[in-house]
Amino acid sequence: MEGAIVMGTLKILPCVDSEAMAEVRRRELDMTQEKAAALGTSADGAARRGFYLTDDGNQVDWCDVVQAARDESQHRPDVSAAGRQVAGVPHHPGPSL
């Protein structure tokens, strides 16, 4: 790809952002600390339960996908259990099915 910089196995691609896209992201992130905390708590709860509810009340089951991501993280040396503890995100096994 033209404009790409290769550093080992990392390929840095040219930026495709724009001022308009940056402004949209700034507006999306313009929220109170309380709102951000509520979103984080909601995401954490959905990951632990293995499902979430849409705005219209439909349940989306993603237990298998969340468990697969957890299992994959167990095999990556850069995402060790100690690393998750340091980051403040302890690993919790998925729900028993």
* pLDDT by position in tens, the chain (length 97): 566 777 677 777 777 778 888 888 888 888 888 988 998 999 899 888 889 888 899 999 988 887 888 788 777 665 555 444 444 445 445 444 3
User: Is residue 6 one of the residues assigned to a domain?
Assistant: no
Distance CA 97, CA 76 (A): 25
Per the structure block, which two tokens stand in for 54? Answer: 């849409």
Query: Domain residues for 39?
Result: 17-86
pLDDT score at 95: 46
**Structure confidence at residue 59 (pLDDT):** 93
At 77 the pLDDT is 63
pTM above 0.85, yes or no: no
**Residue 4 placed within a domain:** no
Distances (CA, A) of 71 to 16, 19, 48, 49, 67: 33, 39, 14, 16, 6
Tell me the C-alpha distance between 51 and 70, whole Å. Answer: 15
Amino acid of residue 56? D
Q: Is residue 78 part of a domain?
A: yes
What are 4-21's pLDDT values in tens digits?
777 677 777 777 778 888
Q: For the chain, how many structural domains are there in total?
A: 1
Q: Is residue 8 part of a domain?
A: no
Q: Which residues of 62-73 are buried (b: 16+ CB within 10 A; e: fewer)?
A: beeebeeeeeee
Residue 42 lies in a domain: yes
Separation in Å, CA 2 to CA 5, 9, 14, 17, 25: 9, 17, 8, 16, 26
